[in-house]
Amino acid sequence: MDKSISDAVELLYKGAKMLSQHCLDCKMPLFKHEDKIICPSCKKEFKMDENGNVKPLTKKIKNNEKINKKEENIFYKTNELNNILKDKLYFLIKEMKNCNDVNKLEYYICLSLKLIDLIERLSKL
Ligand SMILES: [Zn+2]
């Protein structure tokens, strides 16, 4: 709280105007500085409509959320692929355990190596 008060004082010193509206999150009085409405405590930016109601400025945050969701999606898919490949690798190794046919073994090993390579490449995505 002390920090936000000193930040508020600094804003006033810079020529910001204290508004009658309060931050929706921390209830600190909002400040208008260079056409921006800011909360000195949580550093959030707000906008005011014609009726003097403040709303958080969400445009930038929304875009970030979209990017985060996209990243999450890629992560989730990569993880899922990884699990499938590891499942197949496990299956191949189990098959090898009971296999005494050299040709088949060679085939399994070759497939396993490809799978390991794929898993490795996937982890670099
Ligand atoms: Zn705040």
Residues in CB range of 22: below 8 A, 6 or more apart: 28, 29, 30
Measured in angstroms, how far is the CA atom of residue 22 from the centroid of ligand 1? Answer: 8
CA max distance for the chain: 84
Measured in angstroms, how far is the CA atom of residue 38 from the centroid of ligand 1? Answer: 8
Measured in angstroms, how far is the CA atom of residue 23 from the centroid of ligand 1? Answer: 5
Structure tokens at 53: 């109601």
Measured in angstroms, how far is the CA atom of residue 25 from the centroid of ligand 1? Answer: 5
pLDDT at res. 106 = 92
pLDDT at res. 9 = 83
pLDDT at res. 71 = 66
Per-residue pLDDT tens over the stretch 49-105: 888 888 888 655 455 666 566 666 766 777 888 889 999 999 999 999 889 999 999
pLDDT > 70: percent of the chain = 85
- Our CA angle for 58, 39, 11, nearest 5°, is 135
Q: Which pTM was predicted?
A: 0.44
Residues in CB range of 121: below 8 A, 6 or more apart: none
- Would you kindly state where each structural domain of the chain is located, as residue ranges? 2-57, 60-123
pLDDT at res. 67 = 59
pLDDT at res. 117 = 92
Measured in angstroms, how far is the CA atom of residue 1 from the centroid of ligand 1? Answer: 11
Measured in angstroms, how far is the CA atom of residue 66 from the centroid of ligand 1? Answer: 24
